[in-house]
Every structure is written in structure tokens, then in C-alpha cells.
Amino acid sequence: MAEEKKTQNTYTDDSIITLEDNEHIRRRVGMYIGRLGNGDDQADGIYVLLKEIIDNSIDEFSMGYGNRVNITITEDGEVTIRDYGRGIPLTKVVDATSKLNTGGKFDDRNFKKSVGMNGVGTKAVNALSSVFEVRSFREGQCSFARFSRGELQEQSITPSTEKDGTLIHFKPDYQMFGDFHFRMDYVETMVKNYSYLKKGLTLVLNGTPYKSENGLLDLVSENMSETPLYPLIHIEGEDIEIVLTHGNAYGENIASFVNGQNTRDGGTHLAAYREAIAKTLKDFFKKDYKPEDVRQGIVGAIAVQIQEPIFESQAKIKLGSTYMWEKQVKNPDGSPRRAEDGSAIIERGPTVRSFINEFVAKNLDNYLHKHMDIVPAIEEKIKASQAEREEIAGVQKKTRERNKKASVYNRKLRDCRYHYTDKFPKDREDDKYRTSIFITEGDSASGTITKVRNANTQAVFSLRGKPINCFKESRKKVAENEELSLLVSALGLEDDIEGLRYNNIIVATDADDDGMHIRMLVLTFFMKYYPDLIRRGHVHILQTPLFRIRTKQETCYCYSVEEKEKALGKIKGKPEITRFKGLGEISSNEFVDFIGEHMRLDPVSLSDEESISQIMEFYMGDNTIERQNFIRENLRSEAELEDVDF
């Protein structure tokens, strides 16, 4: 009883603390940039930092100031961004870049349809950078400030002959991001998207200019990896632009944007667009086609402009806005007008759903009546999708019944407590991105991971043997496959990709021939039937150590021959070297480090311009001279890996 009383009394006045802005950002990174990461994944925080600064420059262009943005990224991760907008008001440079909830975008007179509305983004970049410098050129003067990890080091205002605008220079803090690096293919995609969405704007990335004349039409046409079944439909209106066509690939590939921001996880606007396409085409043909048949193989994009958009997190990859705009009604003296109960009176525009539905219903229908030559191709595609779905409908029903009897959540899946579809509080937003499922081969590996995983956010799915090669099999046979159908159930993909239960799908197979083969079979399944999982950055490969080097004083793990040689060069004496050949060989107490805070993941990436069919043909089709040569050039023999003296 005394011990219990002592524990309760530890919650005292001293337990209540107030964090300064910088410390709060650095302690609660998830609230501000979603996650940390080292740059291997396109959702890692360093890309959010980059985007936050570019967004400010884009907002200047959107308001009619400056048509060029220069972006420079060095090999060691230093970033410089220069725009030619209005520049930050000279005496407010420090406040605007270091004080939370301070900015010029709360008043829609200056920034009507901006991405950043909360006065947070630039401050987060500042606090999470080892070096952050800002120069505002305005009215023949330059206001300069230098910070380190959010703390002001120097400031001045001096005469200048530079053109008006803002220059930001920063380097993400190694204390937060570790040994980070910018993947330039991710950055290039980001910059290209900005150019597609902001016609007339030139963005120069490390000396290479990007500019689009046709907006989303350029984005979709330049990135299509297959020949469309009919010419792309491109329709523009006030605050909205859409593009669509159909191809023969499975799934849907629709890019979505809000105020120039790439909403990778969609949101209310993408949901409305998908609904509008299905309904409009069904009404046009006057047939009760299923939405999934209408959208199967669709390729397209949507961009909308929303006043004061609401995103589901600071990472801004999913739109949560219900209305196109909302504003508080004010009295003539500028004070808020209130209802009888004292609540503020809010005036709202149309809902996002109704705005997009009405635009698509009217304009897509008109387009089809004016271009009747493409109508047969559209209906032929819908009918083909319908026929295939109906063919496998019975198979899927039997499979689902079998899955229930098999008790997927007990026999194959060791589930976790929280899932990607759950609603996470703002201060625990990073947990959402940690939700993961490990796909393993056999009971040994799954047992090892299960013992040491974080049961709150990490699930384990165990494959039995090798799944079928989906590349050359019919969809019906794939649906009949027990292993893959159980995997679909575990992932939450039975109805729609939006039901995905885990942010990270991690393929964890042994580093031997069988393991690599299973890895390729699983990736082929995702690539053929769920390519959007890869495009959205959900699929990863788990790296596990190949070697353990141990002495009486220390133990280190190496993931490659190069790491092993480097480690041996630092160790004195004769160490014990172990070569791991399977996950099951690694003890549970060792494995905890490999799926914990320092887990190494290789993202499986797929750019829009890459042809899925060509990739699968190369890796999973009939043997070719090209593939044989590729293997010879890249294969390391077991002897090379085991070149150790035990």
C-alpha cells in the first residue's frame, strides 16, 4: 500500500511542463512533419521540409508574384530555395520563420488558396535544421537571419540590389535525421508535379528547368507507361482540372492535388472524383454498371483549388476538407457575428463532393457527346472488366468463406492493436506511419519476429511455401490461391485499397535463393493487382544483417560485405564472424534491434513512367539473354559472402 501511495504522489506540480516552440517540434516531430526517416522513403520528413519551403514560393506565384523558383540541393544535403515573389515583410522575418502560429496566411486577402495555412511549416523546418538562413529582398533592402536548430544566431537589415523575393538555405539536422540523403528521383517527381500544376511557372532544380504548358494533361500523358485505350480526356474549370483515360492494367492510377500539393493518400476530393466518374459513365450509358467495373484500369488526375484546405496531418498528403471554402461572418466593425447561443456564424461554400460531382457530371457528359468516337472504347473496357469480375465472383465468395473457416486472424496473422485506418490523435500521428505488417516465409522466421515485435503497431503474416507466379496466371486462378487470398484479407484489401490496415507492408524473407524467389513472387502480386500500394510508398523490403562480428568487448552487425570489411578494419584481435543465412538463425534477443528504432527498409518504388508489364516480363517472364546478363553482372557468389576466417 505504501509503495502504491508513493507511485501516485510522483504526479506533482513538477510533472506539468511547458515546452518552448523549438523543443515541442523536436520532441513531437509527428505533429509537424509526420515522421523522421533518412530519405530512403518518399514519405520521410526531409521531403516534407523541402516541400514546406517550396510551397511558400508556389503560393507567391499563385498570388501573381514571381514566375521562377530556383532549387539547389547539394550532395551533403544542403538546400537553397530562391523565389522572386514579394519577399517577407522586412521587420517580420524572424517572427515569420521561428514563431509558431505566426504568418501571413491567416488573412485570405494575401493568400487566397494557399497550401500552408497554420503558420507552422517554415518554423518546423527551422527547428529541425542544423543551419537555417533566410534572406528577404524587398524595397531595396535585405533582411537576414541565421538560426541553428531554431535558435536565432544573427540578424541584420542591409541595402540590397537583388530582385524582390525570398531565399531560404537550410540543412536538416543530423541529430534528428541521422545519416540522411535526398533521393533526387523523389525530388524531381515533386518538382515536375509543381510544374504541371502551375502553368507558367518555371522551377529550376540543380540547373535543370521544369515548365509545363498543358498542366495535368502533360502529367498524365508524359507518365503513362502503356498506350491508352482512347485519347486522354482533359477538362478545366474554375478551381478544378481533371484528366482521365483507361488502360489495360489492373487497379486505378489517379493522381490527386490540392492547391498544388500532391495528396498521395487522396482524401475527400479523390473520393468524390472516383464516385463522379463511375456515376457519370453509368448515367451516360444508361446501364447499371458497377463502380469497380467503370474504374478498373483507369488512369487520370484531379487538381482542385480550395480556400483554407484542411489536411489530416501536417504532412498534407490527405485532404480532410468537407467544403470548398468556409469563413466566419463578421459585423461591419470587423467583430465575429454570433448566433443566439454565442457560437460563431460560419458561411460555407459547396461541399467538395457536390462541387466535383456536379462539375464531372456536366462536363464529362458534354465531352462524351462531342467526342462520340471514343465512346465504344470506353464501354468495351467497362464490359470486359464486368465479365472478368463476374467470372471470378463465385471463386471469391468461396475463398472468403474458406478464409473465415481458416480463421485468418489466428492461423496466419499475428495482428497488432492499432491500424492505419484508425483515427490517431495529433500528438501520436507518427504511430499511424509505424503501423506495419511483416510478410515472412515459414513459422521459424515469423516466430522470431513475433516474439520481439511491437504488438501495438507491428503485425506478422506467415506464408507457407512459395505463392504462385501471378504474372502468367489468370485472375481467377490467383483468386483461388489460398495464400494470396488470405494475405488480401489480412491487409484489408478485399473491397478497396482505401481499406489498407497497415502503412508499411514489409517483405521479410531470407537472403538466399528461395527467399529472393518468394520476395519476387510477392512483389509481382502487388505490382500486377495493387500497383497503387507501391506508388503510394507502402511496400518495403526488410534488410537483415548478413554478418555478426563479435569480440569480448563488442558485437556489431553488418548488412553487406563492404560493411563487414569496414568493421573488421576497426577491430583489433581475432573476432568471431557469423554469416546469417536465414531469419530463423538470428536469435530473438538479437532480432529486436533489426525491426525496432533502427530498422532498415528498402522502399519498393515505381515511378509513373515505368511500365509494369515490361518490368514483370523482364523479372518474371521467360528467361531471356537480357535477364541472364543482368544476373551475371549483379550476382555475388556465396563464396564472396562467406570469405571469412572463422
Over residues 608-626, the pLDDT tens digits come to 555 666 676 666 766 667 6
Q: Which cell goes with 594?
A: 533489426
3-state secondary structure 89-128: CHHHHHHHHHCCCCCCCCCCCCCCCCCCCCCCHHHHHHHC
**How large a percentage of the chain has pLDDT more than 70?**
84
Q: Which cell goes with 288?
A: 447499371
Confidence of residue 400 (pLDDT cuts 50, 70, 90): low
3-state secondary structure 215-226: CHHHHHHHHCCC
In tens, the pLDDT along 417-440 reads: 999 888 877 667 778 888 999 999
User: Which residues sit opposite 311 in a β-bridge?
Assistant: 319
Cβ neighbours, 10 Å, residue 179: 8
Evaluate if residue 497 carries a pLDDT over 70. yes
Residues carrying CATH 3.30.565.10, the chain: 21-210
Confidence of residue 411 (pLDDT cuts 50, 70, 90): low
Q: Which CATH number fits domain 407-544+580-610: 3.40.50.150, 3.40.50.360, 3.40.50.720, 3.40.50.670?
A: 3.40.50.670
Residues carrying CATH 3.40.50.670, the chain: 407-544+580-610
Q: Which CATH number fits domain 21-210: 3.30.565.10, 3.40.640.10, 3.20.20.150, 3.40.50.620?
A: 3.30.565.10
Encoded amino acid at 324, one letter: M
Q: What average pLDDT score do residues 301-326 get?
A: 84
Evaluate if residue 103 carries a pLDDT over 60. no
Q: What average pLDDT score do residues 532-537 get?
A: 85
Tell me if residue 141 falls in helix, strand or coil: strand
Evaluate if residue 356 carries a pLDDT over 80. yes
**How large a percentage of the chain has pLDDT more than 90?**
36
In tens, the pLDDT along 458-490 reads: 999 998 877 888 887 778 888 888 888 888 888
Confidence of residue 646 (pLDDT cuts 50, 70, 90): very low
The pLDDT score that the predictor gives to residue 111 is: 40
Cβ neighbours, 10 Å, residue 646: 7
Q: Which cell goes with 461?
A: 503474416
The pLDDT score that the predictor gives to residue 474 is: 79
CA dist 544 → 86, 247, 369, 434, 554 (Å)? 50, 38, 57, 18, 19
Q: What is the pTM of this model?
A: 0.74
Task: With beta carbons less than 8 A apart as the criterion, state whether 300 and 245 touch.
Answer: yes
Top pLDDT among 107 and 260 is at 260
Topology of domain 216-330+343-382 in CATH is: Ribosomal Protein S5; domain 2 (3.30.230)
Confidence of residue 377 (pLDDT cuts 50, 70, 90): very high
The pLDDT score that the predictor gives to residue 243 is: 96
Nearest to 278 by CA among 263, 262, 298: 298
N residues, the chain: 646
Q: How far apart are CA 358 and CA 209, in angstroms?
A: 37
Q: Cell 496466419 identifies what position?
A: 412
Average pLDDT value over all residues in the chain:
83
In tens, the pLDDT along 578-603 reads: 888 777 677 878 888 888 877 888 88
Q: Which cell goes with 35?
A: 515522421
In tens, the pLDDT along 53-90 reads: 998 899 899 888 989 999 999 999 999 999 999 999 99
Q: How far apart are CA 88 and CA 98, in angstroms?
A: 13
User: For residue 67, which phi and psi values (nearest 5 degrees)?
Assistant: -125, 20
Evaluate if residue 20 carries a pLDDT over 50. yes
Top pLDDT among 205 and 9 is at 205
Evaluate if residue 409 carries a pLDDT over 50. no
The answer to which of 161-165, 479-483, 547-551 has the lowest mean pLDDT is: 479-483
Q: What average pLDDT score do residues 22-45 get?
A: 77
The answer to which of 41-50, 299-308, 320-329, 392-401 has the lowest mean pLDDT is: 392-401
User: For residue 474, which phi and psi values (nearest 5 degrees)?
Assistant: -70, 160
The pLDDT score that the predictor gives to residue 482 is: 80
